[in-house]
Amino acid sequence: MEKRTKFKKFSALMLVFAIIVCFTGCMRYSMTAKISSDGTADITFVYAIMEDYATGMDDSQEKIEEAFEDLDYDYEIDEYDEDGFVGFTATVLDIPLDELEDVLSEGFEVSDFSLEEDDGVYTLEWDASDTSSEASGSGISTDTLDQYDGYMKFVLELPGKAIDDNATSKKGNTLEWDLMDLDESIYCEFDLSKSSSIPWGLIIGIIVGILVVAAVVVAIVLISKKKKNAPAPAPVAPTFPQAPVDQGFAQPTGFPQAPAFPQAPAAPQAPVAPQAPAFPQAPVAPQAPVVPQAPVAPVAPAPAVPEVPQAPVAPAAPEAPAAPVDNTPADPTV
């Protein structure tokens, strides 16, 4: 009973909605449920009408503030002023999901709203036909809202992807239903058991990938700087072919050669231009070409010397005949 008494104070919100509908069809109304992975929700209501019909909105905001004074949950009430619409937003913060159905159904008189949980999987259903019928009975239509840039919608923000839903439109993890264009009850199924756990594997993989990319970028930068700071190679001085040296005539074998004329001394090389000390180094000036040596004077051939005839050899003297050998036998009587 105490809970019901506490929630009944919030029926002022629906009273404000009824006042807006009675004043004009140029209105903006939305209910946004922002679900967190810790199992809580923030519920935000937007009540706004065109500035030309804003009479009575200040009184309505005061009623909301009075109703929220004894609220057990934290809340925020802010002004709304966008696109020529003025009004206010009312947000109830950190409502546990197991109490959300009671807060909306009994406190804000949102009829036929249910939220059930089974092993971390939540199923949200809301038959919003009463809200859309009340707006239609007051002369509000989809064409009227489109004409004045108004809306009546329910928005659900999830920490992850929905398992199943029948949203009118969606953008990422934000689902939206047009309350003036519903053929069936609002339905959404989402899982908080996975979104509440931290995906360490994915986080570590992303960190490793970032480190690898950073290392590659640093290596490329260092290599580029090293190539940029390397001194340019000095140009190679051109070489010129030397004039062939005349070797003269061949000298006859067995005779000394005539003395050769002394060679002209080689001209000294031009001094190399000093390099500039500043960085980058100035290219080395090419050396002056080597002065070709003076040709060697041909050697004059020596005159041929006639050969001297040798003296005839004298005949050898005949040898003397050898003395006869005495072959007489010795006298045995002696």
Longest dimension (CA), the chain: 203
Q: Is the peptide bond before 274 cis (omega within 30 degrees of 0)?
A: no
* pLDDT-based confidence at residue 324 (cuts at 50, 70, 90): low
Tens digit of pLDDT for each residue in 188-197? 999 998 754 4
| Cβ contacts of 214 within 8 Å, gap of 6 or more | none
The answer to whether residue 168 scores a pLDDT higher than 90 is yes
What does the pLDDT read at residue 169?
95
What letter does residue 184 receive in the DSSP assignment?
S
* DSSP of 277-296: SSSSPPPPPPPPPPPPPPPP
* pLDDT-based confidence at residue 58 (cuts at 50, 70, 90): confident
Whether 296 contacts 260, CB under 8 Å: yes
| Cβ contacts of 153 within 8 Å, gap of 6 or more | 29, 30, 31, 176, 177, 178, 179
* pLDDT-based confidence at residue 319 (cuts at 50, 70, 90): low
* pLDDT-based confidence at residue 4 (cuts at 50, 70, 90): very low
Task: Give the torsion sign (CA, 234, 240, 241, 243).
Answer: negative
The answer to whether residue 279 scores a pLDDT higher than 70 is no
What does the pLDDT read at residue 243?
57
> For residue 118, what are its two tokens?
């089974």
Name the residue among 119, 73, 75, 112 with its Cα closest to residue 96. 73
What does the pLDDT read at residue 126?
94
Residue 187's H or E segment, with its range, is: strand 186-191
**pLDDT higher for 305 or 111?**
111
Residue 172's alpha-carbon distances to 158, 202, 244, in angstroms, are 9, 19, 88
Q: What is the arithmetic mean of pLDDT over 145-171?
A: 93
* DSSP of 59-92: HHHHHHHHHHTT-SS-EEEEEEEETTEEEEEEEE
What does the pLDDT read at residue 167?
96
Tens digit of pLDDT for each residue in 79-90? 999 999 998 899
What does the pLDDT read at residue 5?
44
> For residue 289, what are its two tokens?
């070409």
> For residue 22, what are its two tokens?
């009675």
Tens digit of pLDDT for each residue in 100-157? 998 887 777 788 899 999 999 999 999 988 877 777 777 778 888 888 899 999 999 9
Whether 129 contacts 179, CB under 8 Å: no
Residue 41's H or E segment, with its range, is: strand 40-50
The answer to whether residue 274 scores a pLDDT higher than 50 is yes
Whether 246 contacts 263, CB under 8 Å: no
* pLDDT-based confidence at residue 206 (cuts at 50, 70, 90): confident
**pLDDT higher for 199 or 235?**
235
Q: What is the arithmetic mean of pLDDT over 158-183?
A: 94
Tens digit of pLDDT for each residue in 244-269? 555 554 444 555 555 555 555 555 56
Whether 57 contacts 88, CB under 8 Å: yes
Number of H helices, E strands in the chain: 7, 11
The answer to whether residue 173 scores a pLDDT higher than 50 is yes
What does the pLDDT read at residue 16?
58
What does the pLDDT read at residue 248?
52
Q: What gap in Å lies between CA 118 and CA 125, rounded to an integer?
A: 14
| Cβ contacts of 41 within 8 Å, gap of 6 or more | 33, 34, 35, 94, 95, 97, 100
Is the whole-model pTM more than 0.75? no
Q: What is the arithmetic mean of pLDDT over 14-20?
A: 57
**pLDDT higher for 61 or 75?**
75
Which amino acid type is present at position 132?
Answer: S
Residue 265's alpha-carbon distances to 139, 270, 294, in angstroms, are 120, 15, 9
Average pLDDT, the chain: 73
